[in-house]
Amino acid sequence: MKVIYSPQLMEEAAFRHLSHLERSGYRSDYDEYHSLADPIYELPEDDREVAFEKVNRIFFIERLKLGDHVLRALEAVGLIPKRKRTTKRAQLAAYALETDEASDEEESSASMHLPPVDDDSQETTSEEDLAPLVDTDLQVADNPQKDDPDSEETDGVVSYDMIRDFEERINEVHVKRAINKVDEGSNVLNRISGKPMIEMRVLASRFCNPEEAQELDAFLICEFMHAKDMVDPEFDYEDAFIPGNPSVKNLITARFRLLWNLYVDARLARSGIISTMPREARYREFDNFYRKIPEKQRRGIFEGIWVTEKFTHEELLSMATDLESLMSKYVDDADISEEERDFIHLQGSPCPLCKFPTYNWVDDPESICDEMVIEAIQIDFPDWENKDGGCDRCIEVYELRAGV
Ligand SMILES: [Zn+2]
Ligand SMILES: [Zn+2]
C-alpha cells in the first residue's frame, strides 16, 4: 500500500505545526524551516514549486513525523500490518550507525542542517520519489523484539514494516487537504474495478497542535474504519438509491450516517481505541433522531446496536429507513404499548393526511420542514399536530404548496 500526501496538505500542515511550535517557544525547527525555504525565492520561478515541495515533505514526514498519524490510524483499523516494535536502545543504536543528524525533534539544534533525503533513510531513495512512505525511513533497526504490548508505551519508539505481505485490499491511500469541515472525510474510489484507493480529506489545521493529536488520530481512525467497511465484502457496501422526497432522503441519510458511526464507535470501544465521540455523546445524537421512541426502548435499541458484532450496509440502511426494522430487531413486542406503537408510525399504518398506508413516514416534520409547511398542513387539518407526522408525499405536497 502506498500512502501519498498532497503537496497542499504537507505545506499547510507543516507550516501550521511549525508556527505553533514557534509560538510555544520552540524556535529551532521553525528557524530551520525558514533557513531552507526562504532561499527558494532566489531560485528561478520554474524551480520553486518543486523546491518548496521537497522542503515541506521533509518537514511533514521526517522532521515533524506528521505522516505517522496516518500510519498509526491505518494500523489501528487493520489496513496495514502491526508495526514491528523496537526498543529505544535498538533505535538509538541504529541512529548511532548513521550520521549524527538524528531527526528527533528534541535533538534538533541550530547546528543541524538539512539532511538530504538519501541520508536520513536506512534505504536509499530517489529524491524525486513521490510515495515516500513506502520507500523511506520507517524501517528503523531490523531488530525484531518479542511482541511485548507494553514496549510501545514504555519507550514510545515504533517502526513500520511496509514491505511485509498482508491481505491488501487497498492499493493507495491519498491524503489530501480538506477545504472546510464539510469537505472532510474518506471515500473509496475504484471500488468496483478491483484497484480500490482511499481518498482521505483532512483539515491541515488538525496537524497544528501536538496537544490535539488524539483528536486527529481519532478522526483518521474513524474515517479509515468507514473506508475499510466499504471494501469489506461482508459489509457489502452499495451506492444505494434512497427513496422519498428530498427532506426524507436527508433524514434517512443522516440516520444512516449516525448508525454507521455508532457501529464504528462500538467496534473501536471493543478494541480499546478512543473514538471521535464518547458513547454518551453518541447516544444524545441518537436520541435526537429517535425521540418518537419511548425512552426505555430507545435505550434498549442503542444498547442492542452497540453490542452487535456485525452489520451489513443493507441492515444499517434499512434500520435508517424504517423504524419498524429497528424496533423489530431490538424491542420486545410485549415491551411497548399499543398506544406508544401507534405514535411511532409503523410501516404501513395510515397517513393522517391522505389516509393511505404509509411506508415512508416523516415522523417529525418540524425538524426538516419550514414553519410555513406546518402552518399549511394545519390550515387543512386543524387537529393535526407535528407528532402525528405524515407520509413523505403529503409532506412534499405541502412543501410545494407553501412554496419552500
Ligand atoms: Zn496552533
Ligand atoms: Zn399522506
Query: Which ligand has the shortest distance to the CA of 381?
Result: 2
Identify the pLDDT of residue 202: 98
Cell of 403: 412554496
Number of C-beta neighbours around residue 306 at 10 A: 18
Ranges under pLDDT 70 in the chain? 83-168, 334, 341-348
Rounded to the nearest angstrom, the distance between the alpha carbon of 90 and the centre of ligand 1 is 33
Rounded to the nearest angstrom, the distance between the alpha carbon of 238 and the centre of ligand 1 is 39
**CA 228 distance to own-chain centroid:** 11
Burial of 140 (0-12, 13-18, 19+ CB in 10 A): buried
Q: Are 266 and 308 in contact (CB under 8 A)?
A: yes
Rounded to the nearest angstrom, the distance between the alpha carbon of 391 and the centre of ligand 2 is 4
Cell of 373: 409547511
Q: Which residues of 168-204 are buried (b: 16+ CB within 10 A; e: fewer)?
A: ebbebbbbbbbeeeeebbbebeebeeeebbbebbbbb
Identify the pLDDT of residue 136: 37
Identify the pLDDT of residue 231: 87
Rounded to the nearest angstrom, the distance between the alpha carbon of 301 and the centre of ligand 2 is 28
Q: Which residues are CB-neighbours of 44 under 8 A, at least 6 positions away?
A: none
Identify the pLDDT of residue 140: 38
Rounded to the nearest angstrom, the distance between the alpha carbon of 12 and the centre of ligand 1 is 12
For residue range 367-387, what is the model confidence (pLDDT) as tens digits? 888 999 999 999 999 999 988
Query: Which ligand has the shortest distance to the CA of 350?
Result: 2
Identify the pLDDT of residue 110: 36
Rounded to the nearest angstrom, the distance between the alpha carbon of 392 and the centre of ligand 2 is 7
Cell of 135: 520507500
Identify the pLDDT of residue 84: 62
Identify the pLDDT of residue 169: 72
Q: Which residues are CB-neighbours of 256 under 8 A, at least 6 positions away?
A: 316, 317, 320
CA dist 15 and 17 (Å) reads 5
Identify the pLDDT of residue 203: 97
Query: Which ligand has the shortest distance to the CA of 24?
Result: 1
Rounded to the nearest angstrom, the distance between the alpha carbon of 287 and the centre of ligand 2 is 26
Rounded to the nearest angstrom, the distance between the alpha carbon of 132 and the centre of ligand 1 is 26
**Which is nearest to 308 in space by CA: 323, 293, 319?**
319
Rounded to the nearest angstrom, the distance between the alpha carbon of 116 and the centre of ligand 2 is 70
Rounded to the nearest angstrom, the distance between the alpha carbon of 289 and the centre of ligand 2 is 21
